[in-house]
Structure 1
């Protein structure tokens, strides 16, 4: 099953690593993690780095779990801070310099969090909020928090928007299986930014968790669409 992305991805050329589909007005950047990390990097924030081991943080391209084939970009974290943010990030180049854009995303991932389940601090699915955003500099932890405004849990930030959660209705609360989920959107308020003078911008996608337990995700495919304003 392919992404029902913001633009239909039908060309076999899109299977190339980090391919850019230039429609003339709205370039789309498509990534398939079966092809490796494609310059995406993992990051974590909103936790004390001097006691990181108890957070069980893991990341990297891995084989998918039982029932699926191929690879995905895996992220794992035990949310002991009740506010763990774990994300992937990439620097995007080739945009028009100092130009205003609107950014939207479509992402396919695997989740083991079922819908309507009880959890400590919040639900393991609905209380783990999927966010995407941008930054003019590399997004990374600075002290305790992320160095750009991503908002907190269900709240948008000036640099990020909530686009959904990781809950799946295809698995049960007592299941140890994963299910595939697709989330597409730009948030309740469109995410807009101005590209850097060299035509670059950093983009990040991740989860802001209110569930005080273990979250495991495999990002499989994603598409970023930049619309000039």
Structure 2
């Protein structure tokens, strides 16, 4: 079952809030703090026509957090003119047992400027921007128009991805001028299972599948992958 909170849930979050240094030996193996580094997580976009990409205003990369927050975040932004833009980050995970069945869930903390219960073109800027995570045996990337992994469409799961929430943050205005930190944690309505490659690798991605026909801006702050036996 999914669990959504506006309070940090990840290991090390209290350290982030107090500004202390993180002792990485005490954190889970697949915990990533984007305050200083992307940790080889790569941004990507799909479900848009690449021959007319300029109108989508796609941006990504490590950036200073907006006013009121310290440190950096892994920034993604895009104008959803196709009514189906998928913005995501991806990473190849190594060191798994070869050809072994695993179960995957995630916790992610990010900054969003989408308030709750706001009106928008095509859908709400918060509740209609669905947060998903998934896996792929090969690198996830746009193939033609769509992602080369079955992520599903907007609020729907895919065979390789699950919906775990949205980007709406209660307590901020609908004008998009302010950001709030939100944490989403879980594994979706049904467990997401995968079989590792013969070399003990798998690709993992997490991103937003948008039904809101406007600009979405997110700063990913922390991410924890929970990979366990089936």
Q: Deviations over 1:70-120 (max 9, x none)?
A: 000000000000000000000000011111000010000000000000000
User: Partner of 2:76 in structure 1?
Assistant: 75
Q: Normalized against structure 1, the TM-score is what?
A: 0.91
Say what the alpha-carbon RMSD is for the aligned residues: 2.1
Partner Cα distance (1:169, 1:93) in 2: 37
Q: Relative to 1, partners in 2 of residues 1:165 and 1:76: Cα closer, same or farther, differing over 3 Å?
A: same
Q: Relative to 1, partners in 2 of residues 1:138 and 1:9: Cα closer, same or farther, differing over 3 Å?
A: farther
Q: Deviations over 1:9-54 (max 9, x none)?
A: 989433x7xx973xxxxxx400001131110000000000000000
Measure how far apart 1:164 and its partner are: 0.1
Partner Cα distance (2:223, 2:73) in 1: 11
User: Partner of 1:84 in structure 2?
Assistant: 85
Partner Cα distance (1:164, 1:60) in 2: 23
Are positions 1:5 and 2:10 aligned together? Answer: yes
Runs (4 or more) in structure 1 with deviation over 2 Å come to 5-14
What does residue range 1-229 of structure 1 map to in structure 2 within 5 Å? 3-5=8-10, 12-14=22-24, 21=28, 28-229=29-230
Partner Cα distance (2:7, 2:127) in 1: 24
Partner Cα distance (2:66, 2:194) in 1: 37
Q: Relative to 1, partners in 2 of residues 1:9 and 1:186: Cα closer, same or farther, differing over 3 Å?
A: farther
Measure how far apart 1:58 and its partner are: 0.1
Q: 8 Å contact 2:10–2:222 — kept in the other structure?
A: no
Q: Relative to 1, partners in 2 of residues 1:74 and 1:136: Cα closer, same or farther, differing over 3 Å?
A: same
Q: Structure 2: which 5+ runs fail to align?
A: 1-5, 16-20
Q: Deviations over 1:141-174 (max 9, x none)?
A: 0000000100000000000000000000020113
Q: 8 Å contact 2:102–2:228 — kept in the other structure?
A: yes
